């Protein structure tokens, strides 16, 4: 199977590549340092598997890139790598189209198992979080209509929200995302309206609570 590795640390990319290339059924065909490069590598190589770090500052995060890649290249299965053993991260990446989630400190055998599992069409969830996932699905099933406001945000709004919270101005955000200042202003107004927020401090507090600033 062909694999692309996306991680902002070169030494991590090299380490994973060595492990995977040693396997008779795996070949690393490309690497990337952020979400934008990951998208480019997937477009170029059409890999079977994308091994994606969730947090890749200052480039595009794995969460945002996962949604884009899944939309445009649905045949590429995405396995998220992260240090966060937090169920909220798990739910967001699965909603965005990832096929699995494994912790960076997991043993090599678990990583290889996860890759082979999703390549065969399955979903791999770190065992520590499987119970939380089941509990969340049961909760959602019994409380239909209690929608998390976070899910109301569009993908573009999810890109803009952390930038606002980090203190970037409208012009800086526009330059980073290659959109107009007016578009940023419009999205900013929509975010504040959807989340029922009145000020930047409230927005920052919300971003910290949802751990959006960690992406």
Token pair of 159 as six digits: 């890109």
More confident residue, 148 or 96: 96
Query: What is the structure's pLDDT at 146?
Result: 41
Full strand arrangement of the beta sheet holding 100-103: 27-32, 2-6, 49-53, 77-82, 100-103, 124-125
> What rounded mean pLDDT belongs to the chain?
82
More confident residue, 85 or 94: 94
Query: Is residue 87 within 8 Å of 132, Cβ to Cβ?
Result: yes
- C-alpha count within 13 angstroms, C-beta hemisphere, residue 58: 6
pLDDT digits (tens, 9 = 90+) for 24-61: 999 999 999 988 999 999 999 999 999 998 877 666 67
Across the range 203-215, mean pLDDT stands at 68
Looking at the chain, the whole-number percentage of residues with pLDDT higher than 90 is 39
**Residue 197: pLDDT above 80?**
yes
* Domains present along the chain, CATH in parentheses: 2-140 (3.40.50.2300), 149-214 (1.10.10.10)
Across the range 139-143, mean pLDDT stands at 48
Sequence-separated (6 or more) residues with CB below 8 Å from residue 170: 181, 184, 185, 188
pLDDT-derived band at 215 (thresholds 50, 70, 90) equals: very low
More confident residue, 25 or 150: 25
Query: Is residue 85 within 8 Å of 106, Cβ to Cβ?
Result: no
Sequence-separated (6 or more) residues with CB below 8 Å from residue 103: 81, 82, 83, 85, 126, 128
């Amino acid at each position: 199977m062909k694999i692309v590795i996306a991680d902002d640390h070169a030494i991590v990319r090299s380490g994973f590549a060595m492990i995977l290339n040693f396997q008779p059924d795996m070949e690393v065909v490309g690497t990337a340092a952020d979400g934008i490069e990951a998208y480019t590598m997937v477009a170029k190589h059409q890999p079977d598997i994308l091994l994606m770090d969730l947090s890749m500052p200052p480039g595009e995060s794995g969460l945002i890139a996962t949604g884009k890649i899944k939309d445009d290249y649905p045949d590429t299965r995405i396995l998220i790598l992260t240090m966060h053993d937090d169920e909220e991260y798990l739910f967001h990446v699965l909603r965005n189209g990832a096929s699995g989630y494994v912790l960076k400190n997991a043993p090599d055998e678990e990583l290889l198992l996860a890759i082979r599992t999703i390549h065969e069409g399955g979903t791999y969830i770190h065992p520590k979080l499987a119970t939380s996932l089941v509990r969340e699905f049961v909760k959602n099933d019994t409380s239909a209509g209690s929608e998390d406001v976070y899910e109301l945000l569009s993908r573009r709004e999810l890109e803009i929200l952390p930038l606002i919270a980090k203190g970037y101005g409208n012009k800086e955000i526009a330059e980073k995302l290659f959109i107009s200042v007016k578009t940023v202003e419009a999205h900013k107004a929509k975010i504040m309206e959807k989340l029922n927020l009145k000020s930047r401090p409230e927005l920052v507090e919300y971003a910290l609570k949802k751990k959006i600033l960690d992406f």
